[in-house]
Chains A and B, each alone.
Chain A
Amino acid sequence: MSPIWFVLTATVLAAALLTDRFLTAPNLVAVLQQGVITGLVALGMTIVLIGGQFDLSTGATVMTAAVVSLLLGPSTTGGVVLAIIVPLLIGSAIGWLNGILVYRFGANSIVASIGMQFFLTGAVLALVSGQHVRAEGIHPVFTALALWRPLGIPLPVFIFVILVALLGMMMSSTRLGRHIYAIGGDAEAARRAGVALVRTGTLTFVLAGVLSALAGVLIAAMVGVIDPTAVARYEFPALTAAVLGGTSLLGGVGRPADTAAAILIVSIITNVMTILDYPFSHQLMVQGFVLAGAVAFYAWVRDREGD
């Protein structure tokens, strides 16, 4: 059991002690809902990191998917299907390109995916000429993606939980999962042992692309209007969560469920600080200290185990 679950328990206890408005049903639902978007991005990021690479284009992928989804105008039933499928296809195409660049051409993944981020933000802004995107007469089925609440819990939360479970099983008990850990541990050794390096590695990026695009579609369904100039930097909180959950930046180590726990911690902290009226700037600082503390902690553990 990863130490992150104890931290999560402690965070919940501290939050409950700090404000009595925390442990109420509507607020807990809000905490979960808040975590889902970053959580989807963080899940994809975790898998790419386990494979030993970085994907910093995920935030731009979220925005691209959200804008495309709204541009397709989900006002008819057919439109709704398109507004869901097309962004996911675009997300997987972006991931595939990243994967090919990194695993076939041997490009540094940090710089390549930052390049992709620049390209995507530029392309999306050019596509909409820097204007807000607003879809008229959105079909209720599309809005239901975000707003339908079976058992009082929003649908995106269910989607997230199911994906965490599926990806967790994929990583822990399928051959594909073992291969991803293997290439992250030692790419050359894995290749010599018969792992299809390019195919497996590219797949991690495709997964990150699809998950980010899904996050974008959910945003589109939630708000119905997007300001593409307000570039949301989802990749940084997502990276924070993955690292907080114990995913190694050197590859080969990490678990989707631990990332999910870290996402909960980050959104509980944000939630409590919002309830207690701390401005965004303070939340940013706390995020930074949490990230620094987490990496320092894992470095300390690693050193102790190493000696």
Chain B
Amino acid sequence: MAWLISPWLQRLFFRPPLVPLLLAGLLVDGFWSLDNMRVLLESVAVDGLVVAGLTVVMIAGGFDLSIGAVMAMGGVAAVVLLPYGLPMSLAGAIGFGAAAGLASGLLVTRLRVNPFIATLAVMVIVRGAILAYTGTRPVVGLEDQFLALAAGSPVPYTFMLLVLVMLGLHLAMTTRRWGRHIYAVGADERAATMAGLHVRSLKQGAYVLSGVLAGLAGLLLAARLGTGSPIVGEATPLTAAAAALIGGATLKGGEGSVGGAFCGLLFIGVLVNLMNLMNIPAYYQNMGVGLLLIGLVAGDGLSARLASMKAPAA
């Protein structure tokens, strides 16, 4: 019976109940159709890149509120630089993302600013900068080659890229020394320092990674929408955090996994997709996601309390 408590089965059936939800999809007309599957995969692909970066930052004990704004910046940069060629456009999205991640990381590691506040400041500055640059209007001027990035059928290219990124990061986090060090930094920064880890550069790297992935997500979103909009991604930090938390990451750090976050991402994606198919208005979807978040953290807190009660008193 040991397979019953295998972490991966638990992950797929209970935390979150992804498989039961997919089975429930059988009851909803059109959920399992090829068209809808493509819609579903496309909808999670862009957010997924952001989730992957945020999860690594959260495992390292940080947080990144700037990802939504950086995503918008990546999209705008990609479109603006497109006349100089696709490689230039890609480099722009990734470069600006990396710069934002570098700024967040410097604030957190050098000035030891609380990560929420540091990335909040970066978020506001980045959002202000792109609103100023674009004059709050979306930038246009895309060519077919760029738009083709969002194509692919039945599986969109963006989703294939997401799977590659998620798989690569998951393996890096679980089998490479770099990944183990990130976990160590998040679990106990002091201990990690004393063990001789380069805590600063590890955390700095996590923020840069998150920025790069957010910039890349922005480029793909621009390809999908056919425009680089300066206002996208307002709610992205919240939904991305929800996916990571559902997938087992915590705000304390040192826990969770990229693979788990992928399940969390799919869970939310399927939930929203089902609600859309059932014609539930966006307002009720908001309420549902809110209740889900509240339930998750309340359960998280309660189980931590119960665990500390059961533990023998020191």
Interface residues of A (CB under 8 A from B): 54, 101, 105-108, 110-112, 114-123, 125-126, 130, 236, 239, 243, 249-250, 279-289, 291-292, 295-296, 299-300, 303
Contacts and interface: CB of A to CB of B under 8 A. Distances in A.
Given A117-B290, A291-B121, 18 more contacts: A101-B298, A106-B301, A106-B305, A112-B294, A121-B286, A122-B283, A122-B287, A123-B283, A236-B120, A249-B116, A281-B129, A281-B136, A282-B132, A285-B124, A288-B128, A292-B125, A295-B111, A295-B117
A118 B284 contact: no
A107 B128 contact: no
B297 interface: yes
Given A284-B124, A284-B128, A296-B107, A111 B245 contact: yes
A120 B118 CA distance: 27
A118 B111 contact: no
Interface string B223-262: 0000000000000001001000100000100000000000
A292 B283 contact: no
Interface of B: 107, 111-114, 116-118, 120-129, 131-132, 136, 238, 241, 245, 251, 281-294, 296-298, 300-302, 304-305
A281 B128 CA distance: 4
Contact of A281 (B131, B302, B304): B131
A107 B294 contact: yes
B302 A105 contact: yes
10 contacts: A101-B294, A115-B290, A117-B290, A118-B290, A120-B290, A122-B285, A126-B287, A130-B283, A282-B128, A296-B107
B interface SS class: helix
Contact of B281 (A105, A115, A126, A296): A126
A300 B300 CA distance: 34
A243 B129 CA distance: 22
Contacts of B297: 101, 107-108, 111-112, 115
Contacts of A249: 114, 116-117
Contact of A295 (B121, B128, B129, B287): B121
Contact of B132 (A120, A243, A281, A287): A281
Contact of B125 (A118, A122, A288): A288
Nearest to B286: A122
A289 B125 CA distance: 7
A121 B286 CA distance: 7
A115 B291 contact: yes
B294 A291 contact: no
A101 B291 CA distance: 12
Q: Which 8 A-B pairs have CB atoms at the shortest separation, nearest pair first?
A: A122-B286, A106-B301, A118-B290, A119-B290, A115-B293, A284-B128, A285-B128, A288-B124
A126 B284 contact: yes
A125 B117 CA distance: 29
B111 A299 contact: yes
Contacts, number: 148
Contacts of B296: 111, 115
Contacts of A107: 294, 297-298, 300-301
A77 B220 CA distance: 56
A295 B118 contact: yes
Nearest to A228: B283
A135 to B, nearest CB: 21
Nearest to A290: B121
B84 to A, nearest CB: 25
Interface centre among A130, A296, A303 (most CB of B within 10 A): A296
A62 B107 CA distance: 31
A194 to B, nearest CB: 20
B283 to A, nearest CB: 4
Contacts of B113: 292, 295-296, 299
Contacts of B293: 111-112, 114-115, 118
B248 to A, nearest CB: 14
A128 to B, nearest CB: 9
Nearest to A98: B294
A288 B287 contact: no
A281 B126 CA distance: 10
A187 B113 CA distance: 22
A284 B288 CA distance: 31
Nearest to A100: B298
Nearest to B117: A295
A251 B302 CA distance: 22
B196 to A, nearest CB: 23
A284 B300 contact: no
Contact of A292 (B118, B132, B136, B294): B118
Contacts of A239: 117, 120
A110 B245 CA distance: 12
A279 B296 CA distance: 40
B120 A118 contact: no
Contacts of B129: 281, 285
A226 B10 CA distance: 46
